[in-house]
């Protein structure tokens, strides 16, 4: 049962980061950078999908998520919760259950056969829908999901993610410009601080991660990756 008392934003970020490190969802590798789906070269990689296999941790994080929404938005501000295909679907289900709300999920594009549906589940005119995904870099894909929800006649003014990169300038502002407010539990700075405190990685690796966070596009360019803001 969800309690209406909850930690403040800084404590939620710290605890979320520690949980992600504990289950090894966080990977730092500066000598052989990861190539992300966007083409960005990065010394960091995070796999929030791993949370589905850790019921105690995922339960705590979903409590944090609901607390964040209640604090930032309000207690009676949503009529439904929609998960973005595919990683957002389980998180949306757990949040919908805690908030006592119906759930849908949104495809990246219409199904292409049958009803050609892009949204699965019941969505109605004027419904206030919360969009949920596992993470975001610059928020681009959130706008596409929000557009699909709005096209169906509902409103989508808020999106929640477990993890926000928070390294690309203007990401939050771009979402706000399109009428979507972003809510999140942790960022790379939260994870880096927790990694330093817990001695999870060597000093040189942590310093390279900090260098990436300070200027991710330049870091990527120097290593042959893209140097424009990705859209996820």
> What's the CA gap between 73 and 96, in Å, rounded?
15
Q: What is the pLDDT of residue 117?
A: 84
Q: Is the pLDDT confidence value at 1 over 70? A: no
Residue pLDDT, tens place only, 149-190: 999 999 999 999 999 999 988 999 999 999 999 999 999 999
Under a CB-based contact definition with an 8 Å cutoff, are residues 141 and 84 in contact? yes
Q: What is the pLDDT of residue 116?
A: 64
Q: What is the pLDDT of residue 182?
A: 97
Q: What is the pLDDT of residue 3?
A: 55
Q: What is the pLDDT of residue 109?
A: 87
Q: Is the pLDDT confidence value at 228 over 80? A: no
Residue pLDDT, tens place only, 19-35: 999 999 999 999 999 99
Under a CB-based contact definition with an 8 Å cutoff, are residues 163 and 61 in contact? no
Residue pLDDT, tens place only, 132-154: 999 998 888 899 999 999 999 99
Q: Is the pLDDT confidence value at 50 over 90? A: yes
Q: Where are the domains of the chain?
A: 9-222
Supply 162's token pair: 């477990």
* Chosen CATH of 9-222 out of 3.40.50.720, 3.40.50.2020, 3.30.360.10, 3.40.50.1980: 3.40.50.2020
Three-class secondary structure of residue 24 per DSSP: coil
Element (H, E) at 117: none
Q: Is the pLDDT confidence value at 128 over 70? A: yes
With a CB cutoff of 8 Å and minimum separation 6, the contacts of 100 are none
Q: Is the pLDDT confidence value at 2 over 60? A: no
What is the chain's mean pLDDT, rounded?
93
Residue pLDDT, tens place only, 82-119: 999 999 999 999 999 999 999 999 999 887 665 668 99
Angle (deg, nearest 10), helices 88-99 and 55-72: 60
Q: What is the pLDDT averaged over residues 1-21?
A: 85
């Amino acid at each position: 049962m969800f309690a209406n008392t909850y930690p403040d934003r800084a404590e939620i970020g710290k605890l979320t980061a520690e949980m992600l490190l504990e289950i090894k969802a966080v990977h730092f590798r500066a000598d052989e950078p990861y190539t992300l789906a966007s083409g960005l070269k990065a010394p960091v990689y995070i796999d929030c999908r791993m949370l589905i296999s850790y019921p105690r941790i995922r339960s705590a994080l979903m409590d944090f998520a609901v607390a964040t929404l209640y604090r930032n938005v309000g207690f009676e501000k949503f009529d439904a919760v929609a998960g973005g295909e595919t990683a957002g679907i389980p998180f949306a289900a757990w949040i919908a259950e805690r908030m006592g709300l119906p759930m849908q999920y949104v495809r990246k594009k219409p199904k292409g056969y049958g009803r050609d549906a892009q949204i699965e589940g019941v969505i109605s005119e004027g419904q206030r829908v919360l969009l949920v995904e596992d993470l975001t870099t610059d928020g681009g894909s959130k706008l596409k999901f929000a557009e699909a929800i709005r096209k169906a006649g509902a409103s989508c003014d808020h999106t929640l993610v477990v993890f926000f990169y928070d390294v690309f300038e203007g990401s939050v502002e771009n979402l706000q410009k399109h009428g979507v407010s972003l809510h999140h539990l942790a960022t790379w700075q939260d994870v880096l601080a927790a990694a330093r405190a817990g001695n999870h990685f060597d000093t040189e690796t942590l310093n390279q991660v900090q260098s990436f966070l300070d200027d991710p596009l330049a870091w990527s360019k120097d290593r042959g990756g893209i140097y424009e803001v990705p859209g996820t």
